[in-house]
Amino acid sequence: MCGTCGCGEDSHVTYTKPGNKVHSQTHDHQHTHGHVHDHSHDHSHGHSHEIQLEIDVLSKNNMLAERNRGYFEALKIKAYNLVSSPGSGKTSLLEKTIMELKNDLDFYIIEGDQQTTHDADRIDKAGAPVIQVNTGNGCHLDAHMINHATKDLSPKENGILFIENVGNLVCPSLFDLGESKRIVIISTTEGEDKPLKYPTMFETSHLCIINKIDLLPYVDFDMDKAKSYAKQVNPNLEFIELSVRSGEGMDAWYEWLKKQ
Ligand SMILES: Nc1nc2c(ncn2[C@@H]2O[C@H](COP(=O)(O)OP(=O)(O)OP(=O)(O)O)[C@@H](O)[C@H]2O)c(=O)[nH]1
Ligand SMILES: [Mg+2]
């Protein structure tokens, strides 16, 4: 987990709605977490301490995630946690989905990035309520951030909440946010071996969207292999192949969303 990647030390999280800063906060757990990275000590006696801290951080997160889940269920809100490496097309998928379905469905968006409000600005233009969570040094969203951002967004009953996680195929996989389903996106430019290299992300997802199929003629991406690798780590994973750019496959995505 983040104990090995340096994520979160002194993390200062900010919550921003396009046009106005909501507020910022320093995260408790990130400080606890910070001890894990004290490289001045002798590593030979630090491991059980590190493991205990990781367990504590994750169990606190899981408890908060269950609270979020209860809140979503009470309001019949479907919450989807979108995870992927940077640049696979998460925001593009959301922009197009909002523009094409906003008359039928109520969308609410939480955008996670280390810095900038670029993605929230894009979503705002597409026409859905959005809040940007900047995680500072942190490389994932956690259940506490979602709790906080959800209160600011106040989604209505029967709404759909998309949570665009920080682009990273490792740490976000360990943090339950209380989502109804987790959606992993890979794009054809990333290589088909990602499910084997980053198995936890694929193991914990319900749906795998394979984006940028318009680029298939130009890249060495073996679709069958990609799916079979993903099935090796998660036999129950569903797949949708699409291109946000060309629109091919978007209908299958919309059908999936509507049948949930
Ligand atoms: N060719 C092609 N390009 C795409 C497609 N979808 C997205 N892109 C491009 O891919 C780039 C990254 O898209 P984003 O939507 O910003 O990706 P992201 O996953 O939100 O990125 P981060 O938030 O930084 O992790 C942009 O230049 C998009 O225009 C697609 O279907 N085909
Ligand atoms: Mg994005």
Which domains are seen in the chain, by residue range? 14-35+44-259 (3.40.50.300)
Burial annotation 142-164 (CB, 10 A radius, 16+ → b, else e): bbbbbbbbbeebebeeebbbbbb
pLDDT score at 37: 36
* Residue 51 CA to ligand 2 centre (angstroms): 32
Tell whether ligand 1 has an atom less than 6 A from the beta carbon of residue 214. Answer: yes
Check: CB of residue 134 under 8 Å from CB of residue 13.
yes
Point out the ligand 1 atom lying closest to the alpha carbon of residue 85. Answer: 25
pLDDT score at 9: 55
Mean pLDDT value of segment 145-160 = 97
* Residue 112 CA to ligand 2 centre (angstroms): 8
Tell whether ligand 1 has an atom less than 6 A from the beta carbon of residue 87. Answer: yes
- At 177-194, the pLDDT tens digits run 999 999 999 999 999 999
Tell whether ligand 1 has an atom less than 6 A from the beta carbon of residue 206. Answer: no
Which of the two residues, 12 and 166, has the higher pLDDT score?
166
Q: Classify 193 as helix, strand or coil.
A: coil
Residue 38 has pLDDT above 80, yes or no: no
Mean pLDDT value of segment 64-89 = 98
Which of the two residues, 52 and 86, has the higher pLDDT score?
86
Residue whose Cα lies nearest atom 6 of ligand 1: it is 89
State CA 141 to chain mean position distance. 7
Tell whether ligand 1 has an atom less than 6 A from the beta carbon of residue 91. Answer: yes
Which of the two residues, 34 and 4, has the higher pLDDT score?
4
Residue 155 one-letter amino acid: P
DSSP assignment string, 122-187: HHHHHT--EEEEE-TT-SS--HHHHHHHHHHH-PPTT-EEEEE--S-SSGGGG---S-SEEEEEEE
Tell whether ligand 1 has an atom less than 6 A from the beta carbon of residue 247. Answer: no
Give the C-alpha separation, 89 to 87, whole Å: 5
Spatial neighbors of 200 by CB under 8 A, at least 6 apart, are 170, 173, 174
CA-wise closest residue to 113 among 143, 140, 149: 140
- At 101-126, the pLDDT tens digits run 999 999 999 999 999 999 999 999 99
Tell whether ligand 1 has an atom less than 6 A from the beta carbon of residue 243. Answer: yes
pLDDT score at 130: 98
Spatial neighbors of 64 by CB under 8 A, at least 6 apart, are 142, 143, 144, 147, 178
Mean pLDDT value of segment 228-250 = 98
State CA 85 to chain mean position distance. 10
The mean of the pLDDT values for the chain is: 90
Mean pLDDT value of segment 72-100 = 98
Give the C-alpha separation, 230 to 61, whole Å: 26
Q: How confident is the model at residue 33 (pLDDT cuts 50, 70, 90)?
A: very low
Mutate to test the pocket of ligand 1, among 84, 90, 92, 110 (most ligand atoms within 8 A of CB): 92
